[in-house]
Amino acid sequence: MSDFEVEKTLVSSTAHVSQSDFSLLGDISEMSSYISAVREGGDIPFYVYQYEHGLILRLAADFSLSEFPADLFSEGLKDLVIFCVSLGCSGLKLDCDGPVYSGFKIYDW
């Protein structure tokens, strides 16, 4: 069984991120060089993939919370990423039908 690599992903409602977060993450998923134009210093420490019901953020293997571009994203997304890391997850799935968690900011959009 040691040959298997399993990654944990936190699933969350898109209500916990702002509309501008979702738009920017969508842009990032479409253009890998987009973030370089938006943020001085280049890359962000995660990858973004679109799927039918939302977005998936896959954290880089060497992800560090100190590298999270808090200047670009809402407090809601930042809190989800912190929680994701604290659970030992390597991904965050933002799903339009995902669970809404108490204690996390909710955006009305």
Q: How confident is the model at residue 33 (pLDDT cuts 50, 70, 90)?
A: very low
Range of the domain at 38: 9-95
Q: Which helix (H) or strand (E) holds 31?
A: none
pLDDT in tens, 62-81: 888 888 888 889 999 999 99
* 23 domain residue, yes or no: yes
pLDDT in tens, 4-28: 988 899 999 999 999 999 999 988 8
Contact 15, 95 (CB under 8 A): no
* 1 domain residue, yes or no: no
Q: Which candidate, 44, 47, 91, 43, places its Cα nearest to that of 68? A: 44
Look at residue 35 and tell me whether its pLDDT is greater than 60: no
Own/partner long-range contacts of 102-105 (Cβ < 8 Å, ≥24 apart): 104/12, 104/16, 104/76, 104/79, 104/80, 105/16, 105/74, 105/75, 105/76, 105/79
Whole-model pTM? 0.83
* 91 domain residue, yes or no: yes
Total structural domains within the chain: 1
